[in-house]
Amino acid sequence: MKKDKTELEVDPQSAIGKKVCKFSGKPFKSQLKDNTVKDVTTNIYTGKIAFTFVEDDSVVDIVKCELSN
Protein backbone atom coordinates (compact mmCIF):
# COMPACT_ATOMS: atom_id res chain seq x y z
CA MET A 1 0.00 0.00 0.00
CA LYS A 2 1.39 3.38 -1.00
CA LYS A 3 1.94 5.97 1.74
CA ASP A 4 -0.22 9.07 1.91
CA LYS A 5 2.14 11.84 0.84
CA THR A 6 0.20 14.45 2.82
CA GLU A 7 1.15 12.92 6.18
CA LEU A 8 4.60 12.82 7.74
CA GLU A 9 6.22 9.66 9.04
CA VAL A 10 8.02 11.58 11.77
CA ASP A 11 8.22 15.00 13.39
CA PRO A 12 10.18 17.14 10.88
CA GLN A 13 12.65 18.31 13.55
CA SER A 14 13.56 14.70 14.35
CA ALA A 15 14.65 14.19 10.72
CA ILE A 16 17.56 16.65 11.09
CA GLY A 17 20.80 14.76 10.51
CA LYS A 18 19.02 11.83 8.86
CA LYS A 19 19.01 10.78 5.21
CA VAL A 20 15.84 11.27 3.14
CA CYS A 21 14.87 10.49 -0.44
CA LYS A 22 12.09 11.72 -2.70
CA PHE A 23 8.90 9.69 -3.18
CA SER A 24 9.32 10.30 -6.93
CA GLY A 25 12.72 8.60 -6.97
CA LYS A 26 14.23 11.64 -8.70
CA PRO A 27 17.61 12.89 -7.47
CA PHE A 28 18.10 16.06 -5.47
CA LYS A 29 19.92 19.09 -6.88
CA SER A 30 23.15 17.43 -5.69
CA GLN A 31 22.36 14.56 -8.13
CA LEU A 32 22.22 12.18 -5.14
CA LYS A 33 19.18 10.02 -4.43
CA ASP A 34 19.61 10.49 -0.65
CA ASN A 35 20.37 13.80 1.07
CA THR A 36 21.04 14.64 4.71
CA VAL A 37 18.52 17.01 6.32
CA LYS A 38 20.22 20.18 7.60
CA ASP A 39 17.21 22.17 8.78
CA VAL A 40 13.45 22.61 8.61
CA THR A 41 12.08 25.78 7.03
CA THR A 42 9.12 27.12 5.07
CA ASN A 43 9.30 26.86 1.29
CA ILE A 44 8.81 30.44 0.04
CA TYR A 45 7.21 29.20 -3.18
CA THR A 46 4.64 26.78 -1.75
CA GLY A 47 4.25 27.99 1.83
CA LYS A 48 4.69 24.40 3.05
CA ILE A 49 7.12 23.05 5.64
CA ALA A 50 10.31 21.98 3.85
CA PHE A 51 13.78 20.51 4.39
CA THR A 52 17.13 22.10 3.55
CA PHE A 53 20.13 19.83 3.00
CA VAL A 54 23.82 19.46 3.82
CA GLU A 55 24.74 18.33 0.29
CA ASP A 56 23.19 21.25 -1.64
CA ASP A 57 21.19 24.45 -1.21
CA SER A 58 17.84 23.04 -2.34
CA VAL A 59 14.57 23.37 -0.43
CA VAL A 60 12.12 20.45 -0.79
CA ASP A 61 8.65 20.19 0.76
CA ILE A 62 8.63 17.49 3.42
CA VAL A 63 5.53 15.90 1.87
CA LYS A 64 7.74 14.97 -1.11
CA CYS A 65 10.29 13.16 1.08
CA GLU A 66 10.56 10.03 3.16
CA LEU A 67 13.25 8.66 5.44
CA SER A 68 15.80 6.55 3.55
CA ASN A 69 16.20 2.90 4.42
| Per-residue pLDDT, 9 | 62
Instruction: Please state the φ and ψ torsions of residue 64, each to the nearest 5 degrees.
Output: -95, 0
DSSP state of 56: S
47 belongs to a structural domain: yes
Contact 33, 21 (CB under 8 A): yes
pLDDT digits (tens, 9 = 90+) for 31-47: 999 999 999 999 999 99
Share of the chain above pLDDT 70, in %: 86
58 belongs to a structural domain: yes
The residue segments making up the domain with residue 47 are 12-67
- The per-residue pLDDT of the chain, averaged, comes to 89
| Per-residue pLDDT, 28 | 96
pTM across the whole model: 0.84
Q: What does each C-alpha distance from 17 to 9, 25, 42, 51, 54 come to in angstroms?
A: 16, 20, 18, 11, 9
Overall domain count for the chain: 1
